[in-house]
Amino acid sequence: MSLMTPLDSLILGIIEGFTEFLPISSTAHLILASHVLGLDQGSFVKTFEIAIQSGSVLAVLVLYWRKFLDVDVLRKLVVAFLPTAVIGLVLYKIVKTYFLGNIYVVLVALGIGGILLILFEKFFNNKKAIEIKEIRDISYKSAALVGLAQAVAIVPGVSRSAATIVGGLLLGMDRALIVEFSFLLAVPTILAATLLDLMKNAHALGSDEAGILLIGFVAAFVTAMAGIKFLLHYVKNRSFAVFGVYRIILVIFFVLILL
């Protein structure tokens, strides 16, 4: 195992940015990529994997800043954020100590999530009429349920995007709407996770580590812009099952490597 270099940070930042909003778990990809790069899964790498997600948040703010000026949108986001905030705060130590960086937890979550995505698209999608097409039409109860679904993603490999999108579709939300709502909900969720982790680990960050974080942050911001535009175009008339298949192939590939 080795310490992280600026090149490692750039590679991980690119991976994080493009995968953050796709239903394939950016955290899982960061952990697996770190394993391939031979990085030591110490406290800094774990903090890095959380903190550079704020680069993806900046991409959302740049593209959707007008949405955050709408009081009704902000209210729905607060309600959706609360379940994740409470559960994440309670389980933070357990998740960071035992789950984050654990490649076996990641592979199991990726595989199960992939199977569920495929089954969802085959048996459940379109069974519920599309009743909600605008954020203003999302009830506070539905917003809270989406937030509860998102909370499942505290387990690395589950995918925050997949959890919120599937939760929204089950509640009768339009595909484009729940994808957009998932983008917006990422802002308070990821910022809160980043701030919490930095407050607890700021003492371990020196000037070298801060520079490495900055490289990953910028790379994540640039590629997240591309990832958001790709997903918005993709969801117009395509199934999420392909992401489930991808997750399963990725798991098989890493299982073969580990064996």
Taking Cα atoms as reference points, which of 181, 179, 170 lies closest to residue 238? 179
Distance between CA 7 and CA 173 in Å, rounded?
41
pLDDT at 88: 83
> Cα dihedral angle (124, 130, 131, 134), rounded to 10 degrees?
120
Task: Examine the pLDDT at 1 and tell me if it is beyond 60.
Answer: no
- pLDDT, one tens digit per residue, over 169-191 is 999 898 889 999 999 999 999 99
Here the tokens at position 17 are 């940015």
- HEC string for 97-112: HHHCCCHHHHHHHHHH
- pLDDT, one tens digit per residue, over 56-83 is 999 999 999 999 999 999 999 999 999 9
Task: Examine the pLDDT at 206 and tell me if it is beyond 70.
Answer: no
pLDDT at 162: 94
pTM: 0.89
Alpha helices per DSSP H over the chain? 6-19, 26-37, 43-51, 53-64, 71-94, 103-119, 140-151, 160-170, 175-201, 207-234, 241-258
Cβ atoms of residues 25 and 254 within 8 Å: no
Beta-carbon-side half-sphere exposure of residue 190 (alpha carbons within 13 Å) = 30
pLDDT at 16: 95
Distance between CA 26 and CA 30 in Å, rounded?
6
pLDDT at 89: 85
